[in-house]
Amino acid sequence: MSEMNFLNLPPELSDPEQSAVLILPLPLDLTCSWKRGTADGPEAILEASSHIEYRDEELGFETARVAGGIATHPAPELPDDPAEAAAAIETLAADLIRDNRLLLSLGGEHSVTWPLVKAHHALWPDLCVLQIDAHADLRDTYKGSPFNHACPMRRIRELDVPVTAVGIRSADTSEVDLLDDDLHTTFMAQDIVGRLAERIDEIMSSLTAEHIYITIDLDGLDPAVIPAVGTPVPGGLEWYETLALLRAVCGTGRVVGADVVELSPREGLHYADAAAARLVSKLIGYTTGGQR
Ligand SMILES: [Mn+2]
């Protein structure tokens, strides 16, 4: 993967030592169950990001400047074995996480999230997760593997980290009982799409831990917004309501880490890459320029 930096920033705004945000590309694509291609996601997001204006039209400031710099880490070589890949990601993340820097990882398949949450949980034990996703991802194993991209929220559950899932519209019988209990709160797509604004307070109150990790599986958004994902499901979150939710959550100043995963770039659908890149930029703007 070429050495691009997010937003194509000049050196003074993308210095790895000084920047308050670090982008970590994780081009992992070992277990995707339908269309492969998420390994190309990080590079497509970085490339699309170079077409975003420095000034955020909604926030009214230059995101990278207000954030205190956005550096981009080189994409690591990851092992082919899913268990080894997870261990490598956890070690790398643990090495890169700082309590005064936001680590924002780009998938790759959703399997990257479990080791990332583990590494954040080690530094911030009072952690909860906001998951935006079409799929519950609560399977114990899938196709014989506990590291499959259908399983990350189940692995996170085993850490006793509470999860709030938003936009879910696909769950297996084995997952249904886990959707709503002491550790899990689910806002099904059919109950919230088009009226998410009315539910934001409720979603916020479910995020009870002091620190928040956000995982955005891009298939959580409607395929009209992000058409290029490995396992698309119709009927997802709309663009502006997704932004409103993220702005509210990030504005609390409690978000300590995030990932954006499952972009599977397709020829002719580069507006998906553009939307994914803009979502990453918004996450940074909301987190670092919010009420913090
Ligand atoms: Mn997912």
DSSP secondary structure string for all residues of 23-46: EEEE---S--SSS--GGGHHHHHH
- The pLDDT tens digits of the residues spanning 153-168 come to 999 999 999 999 999 9
Q: Residue 11 Cα, ligand 1 centroid: separation in angstroms? A: 34
Q: Residue 137 Cα, ligand 1 centroid: separation in angstroms? A: 6
Q: Residue 117 Cα, ligand 1 centroid: separation in angstroms? A: 14
| DSSP code of residue 19 | -
Q: Quick one: pLDDT at residue 27? A: 96
Reported in sequence order, the residue ranges of the chain that DSSP labels E, i.e. its strands, are 21-26, 55-56, 61-62, 70-72, 102-107, 127-132, 163-168, 184-188, 211-217, 255-261
pLDDT band (50, 70, 90) for residue 257: very high
Q: Kindly state the percentage of the chain with pLDDT values over 70.
A: 97
Q: Residue 151 Cα, ligand 1 centroid: separation in angstroms? A: 8
| The model's pTM | 0.97
Residues 6+ apart with CB under 8 A from 240: none
Q: Quick one: pLDDT at residue 289? A: 85
| pLDDT of 224 above 50 | yes
Q: Residue 187 Cα, ligand 1 centroid: separation in angstroms? A: 15
| pLDDT of 291 above 50 | no
d(CA 80, CA 163): 28
Q: Residue 13 Cα, ligand 1 centroid: separation in angstroms? A: 32
| pLDDT of 1 above 90 | no
Residue 147 · residue 193 · CB < 8 Å: no
| pLDDT of 4 above 80 | yes
Q: How far out from the chain centre does Cα 7 lie?
A: 18
Q: Which domains does the chain have, with CATH numbers?
A: 12-289 (3.40.800.10)
d(CA 22, CA 27): 16
- The pLDDT tens digits of the residues spanning 28-78 come to 998 766 667 999 999 999 999 999 999 999 999 999 999 999 999 999 999
Q: Residue 12 Cα, ligand 1 centroid: separation in angstroms? A: 35
Query: Which among 118, 125, 177 is positioned nearest to 152, based on CA atoms?
Result: 118
pLDDT band (50, 70, 90) for residue 177: very high
Q: Residue 60 Cα, ligand 1 centroid: separation in angstroms? A: 32
- The pLDDT tens digits of the residues spanning 166-176 come to 999 999 999 99
Q: Quick one: pLDDT at residue 2? A: 54
Q: Quick one: pLDDT at residue 292? A: 40
Number of H helices and E strands in the chain, helices first, is 10, 10
d(CA 162, CA 212): 10
Mean pLDDT of the chain: 95
Q: Kindly state the percentage of the chain with pLDDT values over 90.
A: 93
Q: Residue 82 Cα, ligand 1 centroid: separation in angstroms? A: 16
**93's tokens:** 């993340």
Q: Residue 215 Cα, ligand 1 centroid: separation in angstroms? A: 9
Q: Quick one: pLDDT at residue 32? A: 66
Q: Residue 72 Cα, ligand 1 centroid: separation in angstroms? A: 24
